[in-house]
A and B are shown apart, each in its own frame.
Chain A
């Protein structure tokens, strides 16, 4: 079976423009965040002694944006946050990251940020929950916990003086990820929320929304609150979880919904994921067709309706 879309081929740039224009008409009641382009003046009227933040510059006494994005004001600090940028870590963020390197008592983890993050050997729960003995041997055994290339779910623990991030996995819900697939979206689409480990029972999947834009999708496991498939409190087994074709299709549908939302720049929440998946099931869209023009238009109209309701 071979299907090559001819004619209306998925061209994200065109569709994002369509999406943006149809969303523009709905921005009625929502409180407006000012959006600026490079060189735009940022209003600082009535603000005595404001502080110049990231993405701004003072030209001839006026505050001017040096990047395009949303203006953020925190007390006196005025900064501009770009929509497409690398992830900026905040304390307590739940992340999905990939181990890049093992170097003396620490793993270097790629979290899609400006710098690689560090996961120290003292910041993980060892397999089986055993107490760590500070010996040279357990440094040598670090690969039995996380190898290069492994995907892990983790949390931001603290920052170093140079701004790089220290992570920890000291909880049963964090640890190595297996038996699912990774989707990467812009990190600005994922808001910080109460829960980042989200069981979507109606779809039969569990989702980990990493604040850094990496989303992990696995088949739903009953009971466990969408925890990492591999509980670090149990002995680490290298048995691969088996996934049935039906579960895989569910994971795939969710992953494609995430990709479609990501391509259109729609914020990713449990509700938008569920709505998109349900719309695709209702419309009888095949899995691979979820990233093609006609279905993306369905998502756009759905999002337009949602914004009109608000």
Chain B
């Protein structure tokens, strides 16, 4: 809850490029990232972006591929807001926000109907064409909400996917005509295969307040903007998807400017995330 005067002060600050905590409009808050935090998952990560905290776990399971893409695997994305994230998320109050975040995340990762061209190449998850494949469940839990939750979720998802290891699986051909081929999953962790994730995007949310465009809003600032674009950007700066939030419309000039900011900020963000992932993987190897 903000007074109209505070809202005015924050908007004026965005126009002057000095925000309440001293950041400029294109500045992210300090990021803290850990990978491999959950033992029971194939890959996991925890992200703290300012006050916002998110944990993502990736689980893989054997499933039947869809008939449209028989040689591809499946990927499911889900986001849940913890009831402890804040008083407004008590009980099931966060489920609506969680569902909308999950949808936005899934859209930015979506592959074509044949399983190619997505953030993760789903054909790498195929096992036997038309019969079996890996299903990948990416589940995010938002522990604390302090603005810009979607960006934090996407960073955590990217890190968790990069941390994901698929168990190696050997297929023994069936002897008879009607027999199913036999699958043997190797439970040795050192024999697992790391998922290729170079084209997984991060979502950069750019918000518009008057004529100023701002990234990484804190909770107070989110109450002061007209509209937000969630822009999924890859390391090369190419766009993977855009969704919009907020009541006011965005004109063409603003759109171009906001996309420009996302393309400028996104690759730098991913660079930092990749550094964190690399250093996290290095320490994990030392422990092994």
Spell out A's residues near B (CB within 8 Å).
Answer: 1-6, 9-11, 98, 100, 147-151, 176-182, 240, 242-243, 245, 248-249, 252-253, 255-256, 259, 286-292
Q: Across the interface, which residues of A come within 8 angstroms of B283, CB to CB?
A: none
Cβ contact within 8 Å between B22 and A253: yes
Q: Which residue of A4, A6, A252 is within 8 Å of B18 (Cβ)?
A: A252
Q: Across the interface, which residues of A come within 8 angstroms of B13, CB to CB?
A: 248
Cβ contact within 8 Å between A151 and B6: yes
Tell me how far the C-beta of A170 lies from the nearest C-beta in chain B, rounded to whole angstroms: 21
CA distance A289 to B18 in the complex (A): 13
Q: Across the interface, which residues of B come within 8 angstroms of A151, CB to CB?
A: 3, 5-6
User: What residue in chain B is nearest A238 (Cβ atoms)?
Assistant: B4
User: What residue in chain B is nearest A252 (Cβ atoms)?
Assistant: B22
Which of A249, A287, A290 gathers most chain B CB within 10 Å? A287
Q: Which of B82-131 contact A (CB under 8 A)?
A: none
Total contacting residues, chain B, CB less than 8 A: 31
Q: Which residue of B22, B24, B28, B275 is within 8 Å of A290 (Cβ)?
A: B22
Spell out B's residues near A (CB within 8 Å).
Answer: 1-6, 8-9, 12-13, 16-24, 26-28, 30-32, 265, 268-269, 272, 275-276
Cβ contact within 8 Å between B24 and A6: no
**New A-B pairs, 18, CB < 8 Å, besides A1-B26, A5-B31, A181-B6:** A1-B27, A2-B26, A2-B27, A2-B268, A2-B269, A4-B28, A6-B272, A149-B4, A150-B3, A179-B9, A243-B9, A243-B12, A245-B17, A248-B13, A248-B16, A252-B20, A253-B22, A287-B23
Q: Across the interface, which residues of B come within 8 angstroms of A9, CB to CB?
A: 30-32
Given contacts A180-B9, A252-B22, A288-B22, contact A4 B31 (CB under 8 A): yes
Given contacts A9-B30, A147-B4, A179-B5, contact A4 B22 (CB under 8 A): no
Q: Across the interface, which residues of B come within 8 angstroms of A177, CB to CB?
A: 3, 5
Cβ contact within 8 Å between B22 and A149: no
Tell me how far the C-beta of B45 lies from the nearest C-beta in chain A, rounded to whole angstroms: 15
Cβ contact within 8 Å between A292 and B30: yes
Q: Across the interface, which residues of A come within 8 angstroms of B1, CB to CB?
A: 98, 100, 148-149
What are 17 sample pairs from A and B whose C-beta atoms fall under 8 A apart? A2-B26, A6-B276, A9-B32, A148-B1, A149-B4, A151-B5, A178-B3, A181-B6, A242-B12, A245-B17, A245-B18, A252-B20, A253-B22, A255-B21, A286-B22, A288-B27, A291-B30
Tell me how far the C-beta of A266 lies from the nearest C-beta in chain B, rounded to whole angstroms: 19
CA distance A182 to B24 in the complex (A): 19
Cβ contact within 8 Å between A252 and B16: no
CA distance A253 to B22 in the complex (A): 7
Cβ contact within 8 Å between A287 and B18: yes
CA distance A130 to B34 in the complex (A): 61
CA distance A249 to B17 in the complex (A): 10
